[in-house]
Structures are given as structure tokens and as C-alpha cells.
């Protein structure tokens, strides 16, 4: 079967690379940029630096800094209005996955009419979006290189996932220096999100040779650097490997897919407003245990990529070593269980069946190497809520 692999045509990577933003915007023919970001990123001073750099290339900027975590349809519509009223001709997005996803939504709406929900799912967008330069500040989502955006419909409590090459940024600028300010709990959560992307891309039924190669490299980089990045935020080597690992994991899952963990984590985000990385972290171990019999050799490869010594072990023990390695990592960076993140047990029980329905409807669980029924998913949610 033919396979397709799509990423941005230009990816600039390494410390100091964000200073290329003006040059790149000029190359794309821009004269006025809409900067899409959130208030935290403005406060850190990064937006100011981007504005100064754009001005050096004779590009004016208007700042839209109202993006909320898990961006909403309202965020997209507000940004779209500002882009049009300011006569912008390029979007520069700086921030975590929320800012970049919102920017992708705005870019897409500029060239595709109609209701946003019509474009939900895979390959439903007919026209390329406006030019977009994406600059991540978290080593997590990989959104700067993915053809994916996740926008929340707050009326229906649904995180809408759209995937199409029409959403790809024109340029990704991956600068690890911008991630140095992420505090330990955020470093851990976004890092586990990136690790989950790589693991799910590798075990997905929709993988291909290119994504397999990238996923294993990302697992190696992230599992080798996450502890140091978490313990010592100023460790530039660890930050560099995490940023690169997260981007490579993004390239992998965007062209393979995510699977059961992401399918189940999105409803937790939609109902309880839990950070996306954290909602993956609280599911990852138990869902891996559920999935392992569907792809034991793939899990054995993951164990090796994480540095586990598996020679001489039986095939099933080699696969199990992946779970042991992930468990050690998430414990070392103090990731909690689902029952420990402030969700009321009664509120959880009230929506658990609907969350399982929403998880299946998202399509991601169908890519899992072992299929999960609605009953399996409910049981998994409940197991994750209890102590291990």
C-alpha cells in the first residue's frame, strides 16, 4: 500500500534559531504578521524578542495573546477577526501546543469557509491555510511539525481533532533555549506527551517505515533526557535533546497516528480541564499493559530504545521491559495517578461511560494494536483512577 509522509518544508533547529524568524517571514513575502500566543509567553518576554526580530526584517506585528490552554473555537474566531482587521499576511505562532494549534485553526479558516466541525477528522480540509511560522516553547506536542490541530468546542465538551496536510506550518523553528523556563511539572507533563506520541506512533496500525525510524529515535532521545531536563531546567544538552525528540515524535505520529492513550486522554481534558500531557501520563502505563499482547515485538523494540538490557529474555519478558522502563521514568519525574489530580470520584463516575463513547468516536483507539471495546475502556479508566 502506498504511504504518504508530510512535514513542513523548512525546519530550523538548535539554540538561537528563533532569531531566524524575520528572515523566514521575509522569504515568505510577508509585510505584517499576526503573532498568536498566550499571556504567559508574553510575560516571559519571548513575544517582545520576536517583534524586535521581525522589525529588523521590516515586518510589522500585531499581537493576539488571548489563547487559552486547550484552545477554543472562540479563540480561533477572535484571532481570525484580528488577522483580517490588521491586514496581516502571515501568522507567527510562539508558545506551547495550544498557541500553535490555535494559529493553525486561524490559518485554516482564512481559506476554508463553513463550520469548523465540518473539517473534523482526517483529510477533510480542501485548501491550504495562510502562511504560518510555528515556534514551540514546550518540548511536548510537536505541533510545529504536525498536520494536526486540536480545538475545543466548549458547548459540546469535545476536543475536535483535525488532521490534514493543509494544516502544516510553512516553517518550524525549534529552539531549545525557549523551553528553559518550563517549570519541572510542565517539563514532565509535556515530556510524557512527547514520549506517548513516539510510543503510539510505533505501535499504531498505521505506521510506516519512515515513522518507525523516527519514533524509535524520539523514544531514545526523550527517555535519555527527560529526567535531566526535569531535575535541572538549565541543562542545555537535556533541553536540546527533549526539543528535538518532541519534534521528531511529532513527525512520527502525524504520519502514523496516535492510539488508545490519546483517544482516552482527550475526554479527560474536555471534561476536567486537565493538562493534555498529564492526562496522557495518568493513562500510559495501564494502557500499555492492555495493548502489549497486540504487538509484543514492537514493545520489545521500545524497551531497547529506552536502554533496557533485554538479550536472553523471552519475547514476552522483552516486551514487559518497556513497561518497567516507562514506569521507572514516570515515577522518577513524579507523575501522579488519575485519582491524584483533583478529579472528584463521583464526577468521574458520572461521565466515565460518556468518556468511553467519546474516546471511541475520536477514531484514535481503532489504531491500537489491540482493539478495546467500550467496556474495556471503562474498565481501563477505572483502573487508572485507583492506586497501582
Ligand X SMILES: NC(=O)c1ccc[n+]([C@@H]2O[C@H](COP(=O)([O-])OP(=O)(O)OC[C@H]3O[C@@H](n4cnc5c(N)ncnc54)[C@H](O)[C@@H]3O)[C@@H](O)[C@H]2O)c1
The distance from CA 213 to its chain's CA centroid, rounded to whole angstroms, is: 19
Smaller CB separation from ligand X, 137 or 364: 137
How far, in Å, are 25, 58, 128, 215, 280 from residue 131 at the CA level? Answer: 9, 17, 9, 28, 31
Candidates 109, 276, 298, 304: give the one binding ligand X (CB under 6 A). Answer: 276
Per this entry, what is the length of the chain?
A: 388
Does residue 255 bind ligand X (CB under 6 A)?
no
Question: Rounded to the nearest whole angstrom, what is the least distance from the CB of residue 172 to ligand X in the complex?
Answer: 12
99 binds, among Fe ion, ligand X, none (CB under 5 to 8 A by kind): ligand X
146 binds, among ligand X, Fe ion, none (CB under 5 to 8 A by kind): ligand X
Backbone angles phi, psi at 12, to 5 degrees: -105, 130
- CA pair distance 160, 270, nearest whole angstrom: 10
Contact pattern for ligand X over residues 101 through 130, marking x by CB under 6 A: x-----------------------------
40 binds, among Fe ion, ligand X, none (CB under 5 to 8 A by kind): ligand X
Neighbours of 81 (CB within 10 A): 12
- CA pair distance 226, 334, nearest whole angstrom: 12
Question: Rounded to the nearest whole angstrom, what is the least distance from the CB of residue 161 to Fe ion in the complex?
Answer: 10
Smallest CA-to-CA distance from 372 within 297, 263, 280 is with 263
How far, in Å, are 35, 160, 289 from residue 95 at the CA level? Answer: 10, 20, 33
Q: For Fe ion, which stretch binds (CB under 5 A), given 166-174, 188-196, 203-211, 366-374? A: 188-196
Candidates 38, 70, 144, 193: give the one binding Fe ion (CB under 5 A). Answer: 193
Candidates 138, 204, 220, 318: give the one binding ligand X (CB under 6 A). Answer: 138
Does residue 146 bind ligand X (CB under 6 A)?
yes
Candidates 47, 92, 133, 150: give the one binding ligand X (CB under 6 A). Answer: 150
Contact (Cβ atoms closer than 8 angstroms) between residue 116 and residue 89:
no
Smallest CA-to-CA distance from 195 within 174, 216, 170 is with 216
Q: Where are the alpha helices (DSSP H) in the chain?
A: 21-27, 39-43, 46-56, 73-85, 97-111, 184-203, 209-231, 236-255, 260-272, 276-291, 296-305, 315-332, 345-361, 374-385
Smaller CB separation from Fe ion, 280 or 310: 280
Q: For ligand X, which stretch binds (CB under 6 A), given 6-14, 34-42, 210-218, 351-359? A: 34-42
Question: Rounded to the nearest whole angstrom, what is the least distance from the CB of residue 317 to Fe ion in the complex?
Answer: 29
Residue nearest to Fe ion (CB): 193
Restricted to residues 199-228, the positions that interact with ligand X (CB under 6 A) are none
Contact pattern for ligand X over residues 66 through 105, marking x by CB under 6 A: ---xx------------------------xxxxx-x----
Question: Rounded to the nearest whole angstrom, what is the least distance from the CB of residue 102 to Fe ion in the complex?
Answer: 16
CA angle 72, 365, 304 (to 5 degrees): 110
Grid coordinates given for 77: 474566531
Q: For ligand X, which stretch binds (CB under 6 A), given 22-30, 85-93, 146-154, 222-230? A: 146-154
Q: For Fe ion, which stretch binds (CB under 5 A), given 37-45, 185-193, 293-301, 364-372? A: 185-193
Does residue 198 bind ligand X (CB under 6 A)?
no
DSSP letters spanning 4-42: -----SEEEESTTGGGGHHHHHHHTT-SEEEEE--HHHH
Query: Which residues of this protein are in contact with ligand X, per CB under 6 A?
Result: 38, 40-41, 44, 69-70, 95-99, 101, 137-138, 140-143, 146, 148-150, 178-179, 181-182, 186, 190, 193, 250, 276-277
Residues of this chain that bind Fe ion (CB under 5 A)? 193
Amino acid at each position: 500500500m502506498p504511504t504518504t509522509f508530510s512535514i513542513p518544508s523548512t525546519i530550523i533547529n538548535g539554540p538561537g534559531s528563533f532569531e531566524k524568524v524575520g528572515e523566514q517571514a521575509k522569504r515568505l513575502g510577508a509585510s505584517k504578521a499576526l503573532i498568536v500566543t498566550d499571556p504567559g509567553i508574553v510575560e516571559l518576554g519571548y513575544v517582545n524578542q520576536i517583534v524586535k526580530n521581525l522589525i529588523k526584517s521590516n515586518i510589522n506585528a500585531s499581537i493576539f495573546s488571548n489563547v487559552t490552554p486547550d484552545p477554543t473555537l472562540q479563540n480561533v474566531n477572535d484571532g481570525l477577526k484580528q488577522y483580517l482587521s490588521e491586514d496581516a499576511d502571515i501568522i507567527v505562532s510562539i508558545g506551547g501546543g495550544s498557541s500553535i494549534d490555535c494559529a493553525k485553526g486561524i490559518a485554516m479558516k482564512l481559506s476554508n469557509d463553513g463550520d469548523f466541525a465540518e473539517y473534523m477528522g482526517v483529510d477533510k480540509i480542501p485548501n491550504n491555510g495562510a502562511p504560518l511560522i510555528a515556534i514551540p516553547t514546550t518540548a511536548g506536542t510537536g505541533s510545529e511539525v504536525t498536520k494536526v490541530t486540536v480545538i475545543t468546542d466548549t458547548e459540546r465538551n469535545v476536543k475536535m481533532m483535525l488532521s490534514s496536510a493543509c494544516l502544516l506550518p510553512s516553517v518550524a523553528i525549534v529552539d531549545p533555549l525557549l523551553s528553559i523556563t518550563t517549570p519541572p511539572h510542565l517539563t514532565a507533563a509535556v515530556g510524557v506527551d512527547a514520549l506517548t506520541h513516539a510510543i503510539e506512533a510505533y505501535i499504531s496500525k498505521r505506521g510506516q517505515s519512515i515513522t518507525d525510524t523516527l519514533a524509535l529515535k524520539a523514544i531514545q532521545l526523550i527517555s535519555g533526557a527527560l529526567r535531566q531536563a526535569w531535575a535541572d531546567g538549565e541543562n542545555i544538552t537535556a533541553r536540546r535533546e527533549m526539543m528535538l525528540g518532541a519534534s521528531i515524535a511529532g513527525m512520527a505520529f502525524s504520519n502514523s497516528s496516535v492510539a488508545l492513550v490519546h483517544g482516552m486522554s482527550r475526554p479527560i481534558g474536555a471534561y476536567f480541564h486537565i493538562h493534555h500531557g498529564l492526562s496522557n501520563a495518568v493513562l500510559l502505563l495501564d494502557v500499555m499493559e492492555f495493548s502489549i499482547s497486540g504487538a509484543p515485538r514492537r514493545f520489545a523494540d521500545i524497551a531497547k530504545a529506552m536502554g533496557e538490557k533485554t538479550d536472553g529474555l523471552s519475547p514476552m519478558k522483552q516486551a514487559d521491559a518497556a513497561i518497567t522502563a516507562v514506569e521507572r521514568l514516570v515515577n522518577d519525574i513524579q507523575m501522579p495517578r488519575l485519582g491524584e489530580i483533583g478529579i472528584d470520584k463521583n464526577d468521574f463516575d458520572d461521565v466515565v461511560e460518556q468518556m468511553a463513547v467519546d474516546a471511541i468516536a475520536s477514531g484514535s483507539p481503532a489504531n491500537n494494536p489491540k482493539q478495546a471495546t467500550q467496556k474495556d475502556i471503562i474498565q481501563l479508566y477505572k483502573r487508572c483512577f485507583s492506586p497501582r
